Amino acid sequence: MASFQITGGRKLKGELIPQGAKNEALQILCAVLLTKEPVTIHNIPNIRDVNQLIDLLGDLGVWVTKIGENSYRFVASDVNLDYLESDTYKRKAAALRGSVMLLGPMLARFKKGRIPRPGGDKIGRRRLDTHFLGFEKLGAQFNYDANDGGYYQVDASNLRGTYMLLDEASVTGTANVLMAAVMAEGITTIYNAACEPYLQQLSKMLNSMGAKISGVGSNLLTIEGVSELHGTDHTMLPDMIEIGSFIGLAAMTQSEITIKNCRIPELGIIPDQFRRLGIQIEYKGDDIFIPAQDRYQIESFLDGGMMTVSDAPWPGFTPDLLSIVLVTAVQAQGTLLIHQKMFESRLFFVDKLIDMGAQIILCDPHRATVVGLNRQLPLKGIRMSSPDIRAGVALLIAALSAKGTSIIDNIEQIDRGYQHIDTRLNAIGAEIIRL
C-alpha cells in the first residue's frame, strides 16, 4: 500500500492540463466491443481504473495498440468469449466497477454476456437494477447464481426495441442499456435517461459508428436499431471532476492556477457552484484562471438562509464534486450545508478533516454542515487514509493547505481517478512525496 507525504502551506502557481474524463472513458472503452473494425480513442487518462479496463479488453482478445501519449487503437475482431468463464476474468472484472458496462456491448453484438458482481468505491449501496431492468425490457433474460461464484448470466438472443422508463437516471445504467439497444431490432425509447456530457459523448461516438440515436443531451433517447456498427475516431472531453478539484485546490491553498483547455460549455453549473463559495473564476478563452485569494466568502440565499449545495442528476451538480466543495468550504468565511443525496457513505471522511481542525458537523450519513474557519486557524497535518477516489483528493487538498506534514495512506484510491497527481502538482510548487 503506497502513501503520500505532503508538506502543507505552500502556495502553488502555474498551469494544469486536465486529463481525459474518467467516467467517459469507462463507457467509451466498453463500446469498442460493438464493432470488429478499428476504433481510435484520444485523450484517454492514464489512471488505474482505465488501465485495468484496457487490460481486461486485451485479455478478451481485443487488439490494443498505443499510438500516442494518450491515444489507443482498439480492434475487437476476434473476441474470445471463452475467457468469460475463466477465474482471471472473474477476478479482474469484480475489481472494477466499470466492468459492468461490458454487458451492453456483449449483448448487442454476441447476444449473451457474463459478469461477476463488480467492485469500486465503498461509498454506499450502488445497485444494478437499472441495468438489468433495461436489458429485460429489451428481451434479455438474466440469472444470478450465487453457487456459480456470483456471476450474472444474460441471454440476449432476441433483443427487440421497446419503450422503457428507467427507474432512476443512472449514468452507467443508461450507457449500458443504450449500447445494448443500438443493435436491437426495431425502435427503443429510453425515458428518464441520464444526459450527462459523458452520455452525450457516448451517443455521438455511437452515431459516428453508424448508430441512429436521437434526443442526445435530453432525458428522452430514441434509438433505431441497426444490424452492425463500424469503426470511428473519438476524442474524449477533459475531466470535469478534475477541473473542479483544481478550482477548490487553488482556493484552499491561496494559489494562482490556470486550468487549460477546459471545454467550458460542457462544465454546466460547476463553475457557478464554486463562485457561490466566493471563489473568483475568470475565463480566458477556453482556459479557467483562478487568482490567488486571501479570503473567500460563502454566499447566502436571497432570504438570508444558509447556502446549501446538493447533488442532482445532470444538469444538476455532480455528486463527484461534493467532497471537493466540502473541503473548500473549510477555510471559507460563512457556513455551508452539504447534502449528499445519492450515496450514504460518501461523507464518512469528514472525521479526518475534523482531526485536522476543521469545524464540521456530520448531521447524518447524507448531510454535513461546514463552519468556515476564514483563515483564522490553519489546518494541521495528520496521518490519514483515503477511503475513495473523491474523498482522497479532498484530503490531499486539505493536506496541501495545512500547517506541517501529512501522510495519506491507501493512495491507490486516488490513482484510480487522477493521473500522476503528485507529479503534476509538484511541477507547480507542491511538495508531495510518494512513499
Q: What CA–CA distance (Å, rounded) separates 267 from 281?
A: 13
Whole-number pLDDT of residue 320: 92
Annotation says 59 is catalytic: no
Strand order in the sheet with 13-16: 13-16, 256-259, 287-290, 282-284
43 annotated as belonging to a binding site for a ligand: no
Which three cell numbers mark 343?
Answer: 450515496
23 annotated as belonging to a binding site for a ligand: yes
Which three cell numbers mark 151?
Answer: 456471476
97 annotated as belonging to a binding site for a ligand: yes
Distance of CA 296 to the CA centre of its chain: 27
Strand 72-75 versus strand 63-66 pairing type = antiparallel
Whole-number pLDDT of residue 18: 97
Q: Where are the beta strands (DSSP E) in 99-173?
A: 112-116, 141-145, 151-155, 163-165
Task: State the catalytic residue, choosing from 49, 121, 388, 422.
Answer: 121
Report residue 117: phi and psi, to 5°: -60, 120
| Amino acid symbol at 74 | F
CA distances for 286 relative to 129, 259, 273, angstroms: 39, 9, 18
Q: What CA–CA distance (Å, rounded) separates 207 from 201?
A: 10
Whole-number pLDDT of residue 149: 65
**CB of 89 closer than 8 Å to CB of 81:** no
pLDDT in tens, the chain (435 residues): 899 999 999 999 999 999 999 999 999 999 999 999 999 999 999 998 999 999 999 999 999 999 988 999 999 999 999 999 888 998 888 888 788 899 999 999 999 988 887 654 443 344 677 888 999 999 998 877 666 667 788 889 989 999 999 999 999 999 999 999 999 999 999 999 999 999 999 999 999 999 999 999 999 999 999 999 999 999 999 999 999 999 999 999 999 999 999 999 999 999 999 999 999 999 999 999 999 999 999 999 888 889 999 999 999 999 999 999 999 999 999 999 999 987 777 898 999 999 999 999 999 989 999 999 999 999 999 999 998 888 999 999 999 999 999 999 999 999 988 999 999 999 999 999 999
**CB of 400 closer than 8 Å to CB of 8:** yes
> Grid coordinates 470511428 are at which residue?
232
The full length of the chain comes to: 435
CB atoms inside a 10 Å sphere around CB 131: 26
364 annotated as belonging to a binding site for a ligand: no
Domains in the chain (CATH in brackets) are 3-19+238-434 (3.65.10.10), 22-235 (3.65.10.10)
